Amino acid sequence: MEARALEHERRLAESHGQEALKHAIAAAEIYMRAAEKAANPKDRNRLQRKCSDLIALGERLKANAKSATTSARPPVPESTRTLTIAEKTLILKSSKLHGNIFPPWEKTPGPDEFATSKAPDGCYTDHSPFTLSPEQQDIFAGWKRPHEIFVHVPERGSDIFMTAAESIDLGQDLATDCSVVASLCAAIRQFGPRTGSLLSSLMYPYDEDAKRPAVSQNGKYIFRMYFNGCWRKVLIDDRLPTSSSERTLYVVDRRNHHLIWPALIEKAYLKIRGGYDFPGSNSGTDLHALTGWIPEQIFLQNDDIELNETWNRIKSAYDQGNALVTLGTGKLSREEEQTLGLVREHDYAVLDLRNDGNNRLFLVKNPWRDSLVWTGVGSTATLSTDRSETPEESMSNTFWMTFEDVLQHFDSLYVNWSPSLFRFRQDYHFTWTIPPKAEELVFTQNPQYSVLSPTGSPVWVLLNRHWQDSELDILRERKQEHGFHQPLKSLGYMSLSLFTSHPPGTRIPLSEGSHHALHQGPYVDSPNTLLRYSPTPGVAQTLVIAQSDLPLPSYSFTLSFFSNSPLTISPASDPLPYNETITGAWTRRTAGGSTVYPSYVTNPQYALTLTRPSPLSLVLSTERADNLPVHIAVLYSNGGQRVTAVVGRDLICSSAEYQRGCTFASTLPSSNTSANTNTNTSSTTSSSNHGGLIDPGTYTIVLSTYEPGQTGRYSLRVSAACPFTINPILSDAAGRLRTPAPPLPTTSGHNNGNSTNGEARVVRARVDVIRLTRASVLARSVKTQSTTMVRVALELGTIEGRKRVLVSTASGGGGELAASLSSLSLSDRLGGIGGGHDGHGTEGSEGYTTKGEFADASLGLRTREVDLDPDVIRSYGGLWLVVEQIGGGGGGGGGNQGQITEEGEGGGVHVEVLSDGVVNIGAWEVADED
Residue 677 neighbours by CB distance under 10 Å: 12
The CA–CA distances, whole Å, from 478 to 129, 234, 438, 487 equal 22, 27, 26, 9
For residue 477, the SS3 value is: helix
Question: 318-334: b or e for each residue (b if 16 or more CB lie within 10 Å)?
Answer: beebbbbbbbbbeebee
Question: End-to-end alpha-carbon separation of the chain, Å?
Answer: 91
> Using CA atoms, how far apart are residues 930 and 924, in angstroms rounded to an integer?
18
Q: Which of 218, 366, 397, 754 is catalytic?
A: 366
For residue 8, the tally of other CB atoms under 10 A from its CB is 22
Contact status, residue 702 vs residue 642, Cβ threshold 8 Å? no
SS3 category, 341: coil
Please list, in sequence order, all residues whose beta carbon lies within 8 angstroms of the beta carbon of residue 656, skipping any fewer than 6 positions away: 512, 513, 663, 664, 679, 680
CA distances in angstroms from 381 to 377, 386, 397, 415, 922, listed in the order given: 10, 15, 16, 22, 92
**Residue pair 637/714 in contact by the 8 Å Cβ criterion:** no
Query: Please, are residues 289 and 377 in contact by the beta-carbon 8 Å criterion?
Result: no
Distance CA 592, CA 630 (A): 12
Catalytic residue from among 51, 64, 123, 178:
178
Closest CA relative to residue 624, chosen from 435, 439, 434: 439
Distances (CA, A) of 180 to 261, 279, 346, 392: 14, 12, 11, 19
Which of 666, 731, 726, 735 is CA-nearest to residue 701? 726
Q: Show Cβ contacts of residue 612 under 8 Å, excluding neighbours closer than 6 positions.
A: 696, 722
- Facing residues of 489 across strands? none
d(CA 112, CA 273): 28
Residues near 548 by Cβ (< 8 Å), separated by ≥ 6? 440, 492, 493, 494, 495, 523
Residue 346 annotated in active site = yes
Contact 561, 567 (CB under 8 A): yes
CA distances from 732 to 261, 777, 863, 902 (A): 76, 10, 11, 21
Residue 198 CA neighbour count, 13 Å, CB half: 23
Q: Is 100 exposed, middle or buried (0-12, 13-18, 19+ CB in 10 A)?
A: middle
Residue 609, Cβ density class (10 Å: 0-12 exposed, 13-18 middle, ≥19 buried): middle
For this structure, is 178 an active site residue?
yes
Which positions ≥6 away from 138 have C-beta within 8 Å?
Answer: none
Bridge partners, residue 401, by sequence: 362
Options 8, 346, 409, 429, the catalytic residue? 346
CA 448 centroid distance within chain: 12
Largest CA distance in the chain: 127
- Cis? peptide before 111, omega within 30° of 0: no
Packing angle of the helix pair 178-191, 283-291 (nearest 10 deg): 40
Sign of CA dihedral 420, 423, 429, 434: negative
Among residues 412, 391, 405, 318, which one has the least CA distance to residue 359?
405
Give the catalytic positions in this structure.
Answer: 178, 346, 366
